[in-house]
Amino acid sequence: MAGAGTAIGYGFETVRSNPALLSLSRERVLSAGWFGAFFDLNANGRVPAEAVSGTLLGGTLPLPFEGFLKDRITIGLGFFTPFKLVARARLLYPEKVKFPIADRVQSVAVQMGMGIDLGHGFRLGGGFSALAALTGSVLVATDASGRVGTVVEDTLIAAYGPIVGASYERGPWRVGATYRGELSGPFDVVIEVRDLGSIVVPPLHISGIAQYDPHQVDVEVMRELGPFRVAAGVLYRHWSAYPGAVKQTVECPETVPGEEPEPCDPLTVPPPNYSNTAAPRIAAEGTFDLSTHIKMKGRAGYAFEPSPAPDQTNVPNDFDNHRSVVGFGVGMSLGGPLPHMNLDLFSQVQILHDRSHTKAGGGTTFATSGTVVALGASLGVSL
């Protein structure tokens, strides 16, 4: 539904969209599925971009309290695991042609949350998102035999971002709001060269931000109209805090008090100068009874994602475009004497609107465009 879910969501997916809505789930459900995204990006020619694919796992677990808390608290879990890897990122030189927002990093992602029904239409929830990130070091040195060798050490770490949500419903209306904290997945490998005689090499930092999600505020309103549910909302992203994907390779040494500072003039990466964005969207879901125990659902949505990136008129070629996002899918629910199961098929198409970037001083003009297609399926079983 083009990213909708802050007021219209249901199931383990609400761990991210709005954890307050987890309290709507009153069954223990385990879901498994597949997700894939495929890229066709162009900047005066096709730009290589690797497809993303992996497995989805999710679940909801109502807590069996008694008294006032009975049927009020539910825990939700969500996992995405790419095939064949834990985390992969490409940190390219600024002048390399790339689409850092449309072509995202591949990484194991974990999301957990809890929703509470406070009564009188109020719901509250909280949780977190986590991504795999990497730090490490490479030591190049001469051993006792006079040979040059290397020692590589790396550590897989987790980067966390909080999620807080709330909702209020009255009659056919529901209003939802979610705050998602900044989620920054660092990549930092330091190369040190020692004991090579007269050759002096400063520490080299192969570092940057492999994955970045800015602070977000998501607000949505949903209304039920018979068998249909219609939602509209807006998503604010604080992109102006984005520091850029690549950091300096060489850092100047600290100045010792009383000593003359050493000459140091490292190359610096120009700041991205991103702007904050507000993305409007609409979505709808319809439920239709095929029989007493079988229901079909149809879903669709549209969102307009404005680009936070300025025109690339200087050295960097970090291209990005305004995007139209169209989502649609179908679902089937079985109940009654049949096993309680939910089968969902979903898809999304992102259309990158044409954009031109002319380098300063009458340089090269880049025409950028493209499409991103995402597909997936999930099967949920009540336990």
Helices and strands, number each (H, E), in the chain: 1, 19
pTM here? 0.89
Asked whether residue 260 is domain-assigned, the answer is no
Asked whether residue 24 is domain-assigned, the answer is yes
What are the beta bridge partners of residue 115?
74, 125
State the DSSP string of 285-301. EEEEESSSSEEEEEEEE
Asked whether residue 113 is domain-assigned, the answer is yes
DSSP state of 20: G
Residue 98: CB atoms within 10 A of its CB come to 24
Asked whether residue 230 is domain-assigned, the answer is yes
Q: Which of 76, 36, 39 is CA-nearest to residue 56?
A: 36
User: How big is the chain, counted in residues?
Assistant: 383
CA angle 217, 303, 377 (to 5 degrees): 95
Asked whether residue 261 is domain-assigned, the answer is no
CA dist 245 to 57, 169, 251, 272, 379, Å?
29, 41, 17, 9, 36
Element (H or E) spanning 14, and its range? helix 14-17
User: How do the pLDDT tens digits run along the chain, 383 residues long?
Assistant: 999 999 998 899 999 999 999 999 999 999 999 999 999 999 999 998 888 899 999 999 999 988 888 889 999 999 999 988 887 777 777 888 988 887 776 788 899 999 999 999 999 999 999 988 888 888 888 877 778 888 888 888 888 999 999 999 999 999 999 999 999 888 888 888 887 777 777 888 888 887 889 999 999 999 999 999 999 999 999 999 998 887 778 777 777 777 777 777 667 777 889 999 999 999 999 999 988 889 999 999 999 999 999 999 988 899 999 999 999 999 999 987 777 899 999 999 999 999 999 998 878 899 999 999 999 999 999 98
CB distance 269 to 247 below 8 Å: yes
Asked whether residue 46 is domain-assigned, the answer is yes
Domain that holds residue 283: 14-251+270-382
Asked whether residue 139 is domain-assigned, the answer is yes
Asked whether residue 196 is domain-assigned, the answer is yes
User: In whole angstroms, what is the distance from residue 328 CA to residue 332 CA?
Assistant: 14
CATH number at residue 127: 2.40.160.60
DSSP state of 315: S
- What is the radius of gyration, based on Cα positions, of the chain? 24
What's the domain count of the chain? 1
DSSP state of 226: T
